[in-house]
Amino acid sequence: MYRVLYRKYRPRFFADVIGQPQVTETLKNELRSGRTAHAYLFTGSRGTGKTTCSKILAKAVNCLHPQDGDPCGECECCRGVDEGTLMDVVEIDAASNNGVGDIRSLREEAVFTPAVARYRVYIIDEVHMLTLEAFNALLKTLEEPPEHVIFILATTEIHKLPATIRSRCQRFDFRRIPSEAIAGRLRDIARKEGVELDPEAALLIAGIADGAMRDALSLLDQCMSSGERITETVVRETAGLADKSHLFALTEAVKNGDCAGFIETVDALYAASKDMARLCVELTEHFRELMLIKTVRQPRDLIVMSEEDFAKAKAQAEELPLEKIVQVIDLLTGASEKMPRSTNRRVLMEMTGVKVTSSFSAAPPADSSLEARLEKLEKAMQELASGVSPAPQPSAQTRAPSAYTLPRTAPPKRPSSLDMERLRSQAVPFPRWGEVIDQIKQYSRSIAASFEGSTAYISGPYVLVDSKNDFCFELLRNSVQKENMRQAIKQVTGTEYKLGRYSYPEETAAGNDALRSLQEELTSAGVTMTGDASQEAP
């Protein structure tokens, strides 16, 4: 009978486990020193090696000829665990054996000494599925088990376990496996199976698996049915993914405000039997990649795609404003949440396309920000440098606006650099800043994510925000987002605060000096500038 790849190539030793050195090295050190615990708790997302490490640990504690913390793999106990014939190692699926009666039977069996092995090992998979009564029945045995019993609990939802259970186990957290590690393992297995796997196809499978080695092997197993060579196209067809060119085409339609082009592309994909929910997720991921390109210093390390596609994505990211990218991600995320409940996913995807393309086609109001005013000032300077003379200055009684006079659209008065220095000197940490970010998540998860890792301080009537992510301050320049932030702070504290940026004195001085120098040059050139552009930006 044919054995699927994830069973055929399941690691038999700790050294074979991919991407979990924080778990395997610790367990090997415990086995070398003979300091094994009576209860272990393995937690992490699916397909990361929890059950595999449980079986290796069960072999290692019972192995007749252990080798540097690893089982030998050849003795009677090791073969019995691999074949599932060793009665002293019991694997229980808590999803179907979750009642108090099942745990009572386990407790009754646990008092008997092992028949062959040194320890009686109980592996309880998906332990979070046990009922509260079953947890209570397990608690006493888990706290003081017989000397010959070891419990290994595995779960994907650690938060569902009672604290009394968690505190009695040694906890090991399994991380998502890096895409490069998964791709390397896939190429090695494909070579052993006599199949040619393209590097781009291996990376695509790894990206779809999202850190789960078992999911990656299952998809590779499915792709192997198509022939002796697996390309990126084969993977996309097998997994039902939209071709990357369609994602770039949809992004171009969004960028150009081309509603008709977006809907036509969606309809073509629908006619090709592409799942609309999956398409929405893929497009969200594509815009996330554009966001990373614009915000992260080394985005290539975080994005899984070919070099050709990365070059295209980088070109698209340069043409899109970051604020709009975040807005599109927010709209697509909302659509993804509605997809499972929608009776017509195609219509929902088309509606979302209309929303995102409309947001790009709408022209921003003129002179709505300090950046727009500075752009006009720079344009005026360029015209002066090219020899264009400003309009003559009339007398005071009949003075008319100069050709380069800017409209009076100055933002509200902000503190001067000296005032900001005083505010910073009096600032104290804002301990409830995390609650404010949680409050923002209720209306936009994407905007709240932009403020992750930031800190805030309170100084008199001000809340001063400090972050290494400059996009936070781009959001605060938007009057709507700024008001939303102020309302979130008010809901948490009950007090209305003004918002400012906790910038360093040398940064503030440098910014004010640059604006002041620009104003002086324009004044000496005869250009009148109304409005207070020299004030410090938030």
Burial grade of 136 (CB within 10 A; 0-12, 13-18, 19 or more): middle
- The region of weakest confidence among 263-267, 418-422, 510-514 is 510-514
Half-sphere exposure of residue 364: CA atoms within 13 angstroms, side-chain side: 10
Residue 250: per-residue pLDDT: 93
- The predicted-structure confidence for 100-152, as pLDDT tens digits, reads as follows 888 888 888 888 888 888 999 999 999 999 999 899 889 888 888 888 999 99
Q: Give pLDDT tens digits for 34-72.
A: 889 999 999 998 889 999 999 999 999 999 998 888 899
| Predicted confidence (pLDDT) at residue 508 exceeds the cutoff of 60 | no
Please, which residues bridge with residue 153 across strands? 41, 124
Mean pLDDT confidence for 402-414: 43
The Cα–Cα gap between 184 and 203 comes to: 9
pLDDT for 511: 46
31 vs 444, more confident = 31
Helix (H, G, I), strand (E, B), or coil: what is residue 522? helix
Q: Name which of 89-93, 285-289, 359-363 the model is least confident about.
A: 359-363
DSSP 8-state assignment for residue 273: T
> What does the pLDDT look like over 424-477, one tens digit per residue?
667 778 888 888 888 888 777 778 777 888 888 888 788 888 888 777 777 777
- Compare 306 and 103 and report the one with higher pLDDT: 103
Alpha-carbon span 441 to 488, nearest angstrom = 10
Residue 495 CB contacts under 8 Å (≥ 6 apart), including other chains? 489
Q: What number is the average pLDDT over the span 311-334?
A: 91
| Domains 244-361 and 428-501 are alike in CATH topology | no
Residue by residue, DSSP assigns 355-388 as HHHHHHHSPPPTT-SHHHHHHHHHHHHHHHHTTP
CATH of domain 428-501: 3.30.300.180
pLDDT, mean of residues 191-200: 90
CATH superfamily to which 5-174 belongs:
P-loop containing nucleotide triphosphate hydrolases (3.40.50.300)
Q: Is the pLDDT of residue 385 over 60?
A: no
Quick check: 302 pLDDT over 90? Answer: no
pLDDT tier at 291, thresholds 50, 70, 90: very high
Mean pLDDT calculated for residue range 407-436: 64
Q: What is the pLDDT of residue 400?
A: 43
pLDDT value at residue 60:
93
Tell me which amino acid residue 491 is: Q
Please give the CATH number for the structural domain made up of 244-361. Answer: 1.20.272.10
Residue range 95-101: mean pLDDT, rounded: 86
In terms of Cβ atoms closer than 10 Å to its own Cβ (0-12, 13-18, 19+), residue 50 is buried
What's the token pair of residue 145? 């088990």
Q: Say if CB 232 and CB 197 are below 8 A apart.
A: no
Q: Quick one: pLDDT band at residue 394, thresholds 50, 70, 90? A: very low
Q: Are 155 and 128 in contact (CB under 8 A)?
A: yes
Chain mean position to CA 510: 35
Cβ proximity of 117 and 150 under 8 Å = no
For the chain, give the mean pLDDT. 81
pLDDT for the residue numbered 266: 92
In the block, residue with structure tokens 């929405």: 280
Please enumerate, as own/partner, the contacts of 139-143 that have beta carbons within 8 Å and a separation of 24 or more: 139/164, 139/165, 139/168, 141/106, 141/107, 141/110, 142/39, 142/168, 142/169, 143/168
Sequence-separated (6 or more) residues with CB below 8 Å from residue 200: 231, 232, 306
Q: Cα–Cα distance between 104 and 111 in angstroms, integer?
A: 12
> Which range, of 141-150, 208-217, 279-288, 460-469, averages the lowest pLDDT?
460-469
On whether the CB atoms of residues 512 and 520 are closer than 8 A, the answer is: no
Task: Supply the pLDDT for residue 409.
Answer: 41
- The region of weakest confidence among 261-270, 300-309, 497-506 is 497-506
Identify the residue whose tokens are 């992510």.
469
The bridge status of strand 455-459 relative to strand 428-429 is antiparallel
Percent of the chain beyond pLDDT 70? Answer: 80
**pLDDT at 187 (0 to 100):** 93
Which tokens sit at 179? Answer: 């895409």
Domain ranges, ordered by start, for the chain? 5-174, 179-239, 244-361, 428-501
Residue 25 token pair? 């090295």
Range in 250-264, 338-352, 386-400 the model is least confident about: 386-400
Q: Which residue has the higher pLDDT, 313 or 365?
A: 313
Domain boundaries 179-239, CATH class: mainly alpha
